Every structure is written in structure tokens, then in C-alpha cells.
């Protein structure tokens, strides 16, 4: 019986190695918001209002490092982390109310987001 448990566990581990993609993970999605673009923009960007739209995330502080390119450091306490997290975000493209492209990192994880 123990052999069967070990076989099932080994099969599950092998499945995870093959099923989970390693490296770059890309998500594409479209979102339509029926609201004034300025209201959406001011709600989304922490450096505009000092708040965060994400549920169960508390913004502890933010600091604008540079205006060109716009670079912002955010200290937040997400629900899944026992300690606060620092995120440094640089906007490669910043056209208020229309589009942006940003790069950020949390430790060794790099995040890239583009919206137009």
C-alpha cells in the first residue's frame, strides 16, 4: 500500500514539472470600464491618490523617484505576505488617460504591464 502512495506522489510531482510553465508567463485580457477615463486613471495609479484598487492590499507608502521616466516606489502589505513588500515601478510610456507601459519588480520577479 505504501508503494501506491509513493507512486501517486511521484506521478503528481512529475506532472507539476511538465504542466507548470517555467520562465515567462504572459496574460492577455480586455477590460471595459464604463466610467470617465480620468476617474479610472486616478483610481488605478497609486502615485495619483495614494491608494490601491486591489482588494486586501494596504498601501503603506509611496515615493516618486523621478518624473522622466516616471519611477515610483510603493510599499504595500498584500494579504498573502507576512511582511510589507517594496515594488519599484518605472513607466516606459506614460500618456495620462490613454495608455501606459510599466516595468516593475518584486525581488527577483519582474512584472511588465502595457495598457492602451
Predicted local distance difference test score (pLDDT) of residue 52: 66
Residue 13 is predicted with a pLDDT of: 63
Residues 99, 104, 110, 111, CA torsion sign? negative
Q: What is residue 6's predicted lDDT score, i.e. its pLDDT?
A: 59
Q: Which three cell numbers stand for residue 76?
A: 504595500
Q: Which pLDDT score is estimated for 100?
A: 83
State how far the Cα of 114 lies from the Cα of 90, in Å rounded to an integer: 12
Lookup: cell for 3: 508503494
Q: What is the CA radius of gyration of the chain?
A: 19
Question: 75-85 b/e with 16+ CB inside 10 Å = b?
Answer: ebeeeeeeeee
Domain ranges of the chain: 26-115
Return per-residue pLDDT of the chain as tens, 116 residues.
Answer: 565 665 666 666 656 555 555 566 676 777 777 888 888 777 777 777 776 667 778 888 889 888 888 888 888 888 888 888 888 888 887 787 788 888 888 777 788 888 87
Q: What's the confidence (pLDDT) of residue 85?
A: 85
Amino acid at each position: 500500500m505504501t508503494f501506491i502512495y509513493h507512486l501517486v506522489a511521484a506521478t503528481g510531482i512529475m506532472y507539476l514539472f511538465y504542466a507548470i510553465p517555467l520562465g515567462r508567463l504572459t496574460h492577455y485580457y480586455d477590460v471595459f470600464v464604463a466610467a470617465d477615463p480620468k476617474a479610472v486613471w486616478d483610481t488605478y495609479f497609486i502615485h495619483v491618490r495614494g491608494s490601491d484598487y486591489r482588494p486586501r492590499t494596504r498601501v503603506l507608502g509611496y515615493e516618486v523617484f523621478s518624473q522622466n521616466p516616471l519611477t515610483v516606489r510603493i510599499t504595500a502589505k498584500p494579504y498573502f505576505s507576512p511582511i510589507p513588500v517594496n515594488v519599484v515601478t518605472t513607466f516606459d510610456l506614460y500618456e495620462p488617460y490613454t495608455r501606459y507601459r510599466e516595468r516593475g519588480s518584486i525581488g527577483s520577479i519582474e512584472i511588465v504591464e502595457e495598457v492602451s
